Each structure stands twice: as structure tokens, then as C-alpha cells.
Amino acid sequence: VQLQASGGGLVQPGGSLRLSCTASGVSLPLEYWAINWFRQGPGLEREGVACITSSGAETYYLDSVKGRFTISRDNAKKTVTLQMNSLKPDDTAVYYCSSDILGTFCSPKLNGFASWGQGTQVTVSS
């Protein structure tokens, strides 16, 4: 499945952004997959931020975003959303959404990135 992230931008510290993930292609549809959001800052490795199982029943978060970020999905609309509140400069990165290598479940360490497409830039700065 080919995934595309959108919704990034420039925001001041303490602000909010809402990222969306949509899918294209003829393979298994987005609603089949657990979906990860991960980010990659300049000169940094990829870092898993959040994951949601295919049913939406379970979610997982990086410790540093717990209480600030919320991952959700609407399988009828074929969209996965990452609501980001109380943003900090350390959140600055390119954000990507990906399917999980475990299929319908999330990899426990938020590192099961299977397939992803174009990311979206998030810049938190005053």
C-alpha cells in the first residue's frame, strides 16, 4: 500500500497541527493495516511516534508525545489522523505514515515501518 502524509506546516511552540494519512494503490486497503506515524529530523534517525491497530482498538505512543498527540482512524473515510497539540521545537521533523510489518497489529517498539510514501514537514518555531 502506498501512503501519503499531509497537513504539516509552520507553527509556534504550544500550537497545534493535524496530520492526515491516506492510501492509494491496488494492494490491500488502508483499513487492513495497523498504521504508524514516524518522524525524521535533520541528521537524526527515524523515530516512531504513534501507532494504531487496524481496528482502532489499540494505540501506542512515544513517551515524549503522550498526552500531546492523538492518533485515530476512520476506516470508512480511509484516513488515519495524528492530532498534535502543545507542539515543541523538538517536534520539528518530516512526518511520515507507514503500514506496520505486523499487518493488523502494531510493532511493540514503534519501529515496524513496512511501506511509506511522501512525508510532510512540521516546523515548530517562534
Task: Please write the tens of the pLDDT for every residue from 47-95.
Answer: 999 999 999 999 999 999 999 999 999 999 999 999 999 999 999 999 9
How do residues 82-96 score in pLDDT, each as one tens digit? 999 999 999 999 999
Q: With a cut of 90, say whether residue 21 has pLDDT above it.
A: yes
Tell me the residue ranges of DSSP E strands in 9-126: 9-11, 17-24, 35-40, 47-52, 59-61, 69-74, 79-84, 93-100, 113-116, 120-124
User: Under DSSP, is residue 65 helix (H, G, I), strand (E, B) or coil?
Assistant: helix
* pLDDT score, position 38: 97
Q: Could you tell me if 124 and 91 are in contact, meaning their C-beta atoms sit under 8 angstroms apart? A: yes
